[in-house]
């Protein structure tokens, strides 16, 4: 039986069931409990942890964490709800499909201590999109490859991918070649909301000659670097009214595609934590050195499906006051009992 932090050990004490209990992050992790409660696949190399969540929960998509004082801190997410396929129908009308409107399948392409590759496959009547995420032992960068295949003839196809900075952090500076030199979008806005709620800086594709852009949280010592193997047709960085840089958005124009035609685009994301007291100058050269820096950190893989099978999990029990939507809407769990303290789910075989 897997149990959330509450009721936790209390349930073990009053029952004759063996329990696997979620722990408080400050005191460590119980990987088995976390994976099953939140329904994710993950890869990590002691420095960076990368997770893919199934459809249906409060989180659906990809989330990257970085280790800070041996605690995993979420820094960046690419939600399924904020990846879009745009196209024009036979009448020339623009249409938009979010990845939340597709069916999603997650599986390992391969997994070793040197390299792991996780595939999220999104299927729609009009297209298939494969997101291939690769983790390497010799690099802390996470590689993303997106493979779009048309199932019918499609016109003016565009793939939009939005990444969001974790709001509990304090990203206030961005580097965009020729546009922002560790400044805030409010310093050089391309567009802004007249009431001051947001500001956006646009980056023309010819400015990304070095294929690198980055956001910086000096207060907490956090750096997020994007390296584009395929330069997007457009890119913008946005900030909210409090100057927090909340998003980096990209758009890839795939054009007119015939049935079964495929196109691929790729980029890498590097998360780096550092001592906020350091006076490091994050020049373009330094960013490139970080991306190219060699290391050897063995890759570990985990997923909720394997843990359920290996541990013969039959039940999941969670606190009703913190009912996890990922569990509530899970395709593999059925609720069999609930009260005002906890809910019990049975695992489908």
Q: CA-CA distance, 146 to 183, in Å (whole number)?
A: 30
pLDDT band at 11 (very low <50, low <70, confident <90, very high): low
What digits encode the pLDDT tens for the residues 109-167? 998 999 999 999 999 999 999 999 999 998 889 999 999 999 999 999 999 999 999 99
Q: How many helices (H) and strands (E) does the chain have?
A: 5, 26
pLDDT at 191 over 90: yes
Determine the pLDDT at residue 318. Answer: 82
Determine the pLDDT at residue 322. Answer: 64
Determine the pLDDT at residue 256. Answer: 98
Report the SS3 class of residue 203: strand
Q: CA-CA distance, 51 to 138, in Å (whole number)?
A: 19
Q: CA-CA distance, 245 to 236, in Å (whole number)?
A: 11
pLDDT at 8 over 80: no
pLDDT at 321 over 80: no
- Domains of the chain, earliest start first: 2-24+304-347 (no CATH), 46-298 (2.70.98)
pLDDT at 14 over 60: no
Determine the pLDDT at residue 279. Answer: 66
Q: CA-CA distance, 159 to 99, in Å (whole number)?
A: 11
89 with 179: CB under 8 angstroms?
no
DSSP for 226-283 reads: EEESS--SEEEEEEETT--EEEEEEEEEEEEE-TT-EEEEEEEEEEEE--TT------
Backbone angles phi, psi at 91, to 5 degrees: -95, 5
Determine the pLDDT at residue 336. Answer: 85
Taking the CB of residue 280, how many other CB atoms lie within 10 A of it? 12
Determine the pLDDT at residue 4. Answer: 73
What is the chain's Cα-based Rg? Answer: 21
Structural tokens at position 28: 């460590």
Residue with tokens 């999104």: 122
Backbone angles phi, psi at 37, to 5 degrees: -65, -40
pLDDT at 328 over 70: no
130 with 121: CB under 8 angstroms?
yes
What digits encode the pLDDT tens for the residues 63-76? 999 999 888 999 99
Range name among 222-231, 236-245, 284-293 with the lowest pLDDT average: 284-293
pLDDT winner (highest mean) among 18-27, 53-62, 230-239, 339-348: 230-239
pLDDT at 341 over 70: yes
Q: CA-CA distance, 120 to 123, in Å (whole number)?
A: 10
Q: Is the dihedral of CA 286, 289, 294, 296 positive or negative?
A: positive
pLDDT band at 340 (very low <50, low <70, confident <90, very high): confident
In 3D, which of 105, 233, 228 has the Cα closest to residue 157?
Answer: 233
Taking the CB of residue 343, how many other CB atoms lie within 10 A of it? 20
Q: CA-CA distance, 41 to 20, in Å (whole number)?
A: 18
């Amino acid at each position: 039986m897997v149990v959330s932090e509450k009721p936790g050990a209390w349930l073990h004490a009053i029952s004759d069931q063996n329990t696997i209990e979620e722990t408080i992050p400050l005191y460590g992790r119980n990987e088995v409990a976390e994976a099953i409660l939140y329904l994710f696949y993950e890869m990590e190399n002691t420095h960076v942890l990368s997770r893919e969540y199934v459809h249906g929960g409060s989180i659906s998509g990809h989330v990257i964490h970085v280790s800070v004082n041996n605690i995993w801190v979420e820094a960046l997410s690419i939600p399924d709800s904020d990846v879009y396929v745009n196209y024009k129908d036979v009448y020339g009308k623009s249409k938009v499909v979010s990845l939340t409107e597709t069916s999603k399948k997650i599986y390992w392409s391969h997994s070793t201590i040197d390299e792991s590759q996780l595939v999220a496959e999104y299927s729609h009547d009009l297209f298939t999109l494969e997101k291939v995420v690769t983790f390497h032992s010799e690099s802390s960068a996470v590689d993303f490859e997106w493979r779009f295949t048309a199932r019918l003839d499609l016109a003016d196809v565009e793939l939009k991918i939005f990444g969001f900075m974790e709001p509990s952090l304090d990203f206030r500076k961005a580097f965009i070649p020729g546009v922002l030199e560790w400044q805030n979008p409010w310093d050089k806005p391309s567009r802004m909301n007249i009431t001051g709620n947001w500001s956006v800086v646009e980056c023309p594709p010819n400015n990304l000659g070095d294929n690198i852009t980055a956001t910086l949280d000096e207060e907490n010592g956090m750096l997020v670097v994007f390296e584009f193997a395929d330069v997007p047709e457009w890119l913008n960085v946005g900030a909210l009214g409090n100057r927090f840089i909340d998003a980096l958005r990209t758009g890839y124009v795939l054009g007119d595609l015939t049935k079964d035609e495929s196109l691929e685009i790729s980029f890498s994301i590097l998360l780096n934590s550092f001592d906020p007291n350091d006076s490091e100058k994050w020049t373009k050269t330094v960013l490139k050195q970080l991306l190219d820096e060699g290391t050897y950190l063995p890759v570990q893989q985990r997923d909720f499906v394997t843990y359920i099978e290996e541990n013969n999990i039959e039940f999941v029990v969670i606190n009703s006051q913190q009912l996890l939507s990922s569990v509530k809407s899970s395709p593999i769990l059925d609720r069999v009992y609930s009260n005002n303290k906890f809910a019990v789910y049975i695992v489908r075989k």
